[in-house]
Structure 1
Amino acid sequence: MIRTRTFTPLTFVLTFLLSLLPFSAHAANQSVSFNVFAIPSQPIIDLVQETSEGLKKQGITSFYEKGFPVHATLYLTDYPQGSEQSIKQAVAKVVARFQAFPIQAQGFTVTQSQWAFIDISPSGRLQRLADEITLALEPMRNQQASLPTWVKNFPNKLAAFKRYGSPNVFQNFQPHLTLLANETSPKLAAFHSMMKTHPPMAKGQIIGVGIGISDQWGQQKEVIAHYYFK
């Protein structure tokens, strides 16, 4: 006897959805995270090095100590694979309109989730650079990028992510130099208190823009381009 298979509407829907799983996983793998970042001059890098050495004395290893480049993120989001050349061309066009400009790094911030930064003082020219990079690259981004869970708690950042693929653009842009992410050492609190008494400070310049393939912490697994202001 030959048995026939009966497909109910529910069975058909489940079969169809299951058939999409390999495609969805493949599509997700086609997305690459690129961090387009401002390149600081040597006095700013020296400050990060000095602060990192202080952390090292407490048994805490900063991103700088791990060999990641010092940078201030301008625009970080996901792009479809194959976007690299278009991103480079767009960044080069923006850089051609800028010259080196002064910035000041001052202050040490630790968030509730134990991220640690050296803060960068507000700068109209740095804001403009970030804005222009965002506008140039946003049309290329992966429109289906996953929303970071923490963003849901901040309506303004949620709106920015939905529109631009990043929660930290335009009015939400807060330039900084990341030292640590999700640090577990209890000694960070004491170091933070010490930094409040003697906050790190240095004056320097933004001298160009870089592009890096980013890891989950926004650090550069691989820097693929540098563009220096003329």
Structure 2
Amino acid sequence: MKFKKIFFSVFLIFCFNIFSNVNYNVFVIMDNSAKENVESISKGLKEVGIDSLYSKGYAIHMTLYLTEYKPEALKTIKETVTRIAKNTKPFEVNFYRLRKTGGNWFMLDAENNAIIQGLADEMTVSLNKYRATDAKVPDWAKSIPEKVKSFNLYGSPNVFMNFDPHITLLTPEDSAKIDAFTAKYDFKPFKSKVIGIGIAQVDDLGQAKDIIYSVKFKN
């Protein structure tokens, strides 16, 4: 009887892993300029008692398209990313500000431009057909009609007109500590070159520690 219970439990876990959705984030990979600046910001955050996502081992990334898929879609996602990357040349983005959101996330914002917007749009159109259509609207977006509409159509509230290129430095943190950091940190805008595209399986907050797959652009 004990063996049957163990077997049944293992079977349920197996079924859950096979049939449950997976969050895959397709994002741009940047050169060392982005890493150096995130490291500097992270040191400053540490001084006010906050560990940044980077300090915790999370990957630096700027999302192009993040949604839920069935696990078996990964092969197709890789093929799509490879095809698009092979037809994209490196380009620059300008990081121009640090921003605390209303929910106390902390972002490093990049100026949108035609190249990264076009890349995000192309990725959304190319991958939308493979997404899991049973995904649920994130709680934070439920009260924003345009975000709900975007999610229902494309599996993400942050695409097309809602695309907002940024690096997430902190998921919700102590507001006063963030304010203490911004009061003393001398942020200087900088440029970084986008050199490739990566894929990562992410947690419920869209953050990843391990890059599953990456492709560099051709010069």
- TM exceeds 0.5? yes
Q: Which secondary structure state, in structure 2, belongs to the residue aligned with residue 220 of structure 1?
A: coil
Kindly provide the amino acid, as one letter, of the partner of residue 222 in structure 1. D
Higher alpha-carbon deviation: 64-73 or 148-157 = 148-157
> Cα offset for 1:192?
2.7
- Matched to 2:113, the amino acid is S
Tell me if 1:157 matches 2:139.
no
TM-score (norm 2): 0.88
CA distance in 2: counterparts of 1:73 and 1:220, whole angstroms: 11
Q: 2:24 pairs with 34, 44, 53, which one?
A: 34
Structure 1, unmatched stretches of 5+, are 1-21
Q: TM-score, normalised by structure 1?
A: 0.84
Deviation of the 1:186 alpha carbon: 2.7
| More displaced 10-residue stretch of structure 1: 181-190 or 123-132 | 181-190
SS in 2 for 1:212: strand
Q: Write the distance in 2 (CA, Å) between the matches of 1:203 and 1:28.
A: 42
Cα distance in 2 for partners of 1:92, 1:67 equals 26
List per-residue Cα deviations over 1:123-176 (Å, max 9, x = no partner): 110111111111111100000001112212211111110000000000000000
Contact 1:34-1:77 within 8 A present in 2 as well = yes
5+ residue gaps in structure 2? 1-11
Task: Tell me if the contact between 2:42 and 2:51 (Cα under 8 Å) persists in the aligned partners.
Answer: yes
Contact 1:51 1:200 in 2 (8 A): no
The one-letter amino acid paired with 1:36 is V
SS of residue in 1 equivalent to 2:37: helix
The equivalent position to 1:216 in structure 2, one of 180, 201, 204, is 204
Q: Secondary structure at the match of 2:136?
A: coil
2:59–2:209 Cα contact (<8 Å) kept: no
Deviates more, 1:129-138 or 1:220-229: 220-229
For these two proteins, the number of residue pairs brought into alignment is 205
Give structure 1 regions of 4+ aligned residues with deviation exceeding 6 angstroms. none
* Equivalent runs, 1:188-199 vs 2, <5 Å: 188-195=178-185, 198-199=186-187
Give the C-alpha shift of residue 221 in structure 1.
3.7
Is 2:195 the partner of 1:207?
A: yes
Alignment-derived partner of residue 168 in structure 2: 178
Paired residue for 1:132, among 114, 122, 139? 122
Quote the offset at 1:184 in angstroms. 2.6
Evaluate the alpha carbon distance shift between residue 205 and residue 175 of structure 1 in structure 2; reply closer, same or farther with a 3 A threshold: same
Q: For 1:135, give the aligned amino acid.
A: V
Aligned sequence identity (%): 37
Task: Indicate the residue corresponding to 2:62 in structure 1.
Answer: 72
Q: Distance in 1 between matches of 2:18 and 2:134?
A: 9
Hey, what's the Cα distance between the residues in 2 that align with 1:200 and 1:140?
A: 40
Tell me which residue corresponds to 1:18.
none
Cα shift readout 1:63-115 (whole Å, capped 9, x = no counterpart)? 01011111101101000121111110011111111000011111000011110
Please provide the CA RMSD for this pair. 1.8
Q: Which has the larger radius of gyration?
A: 1
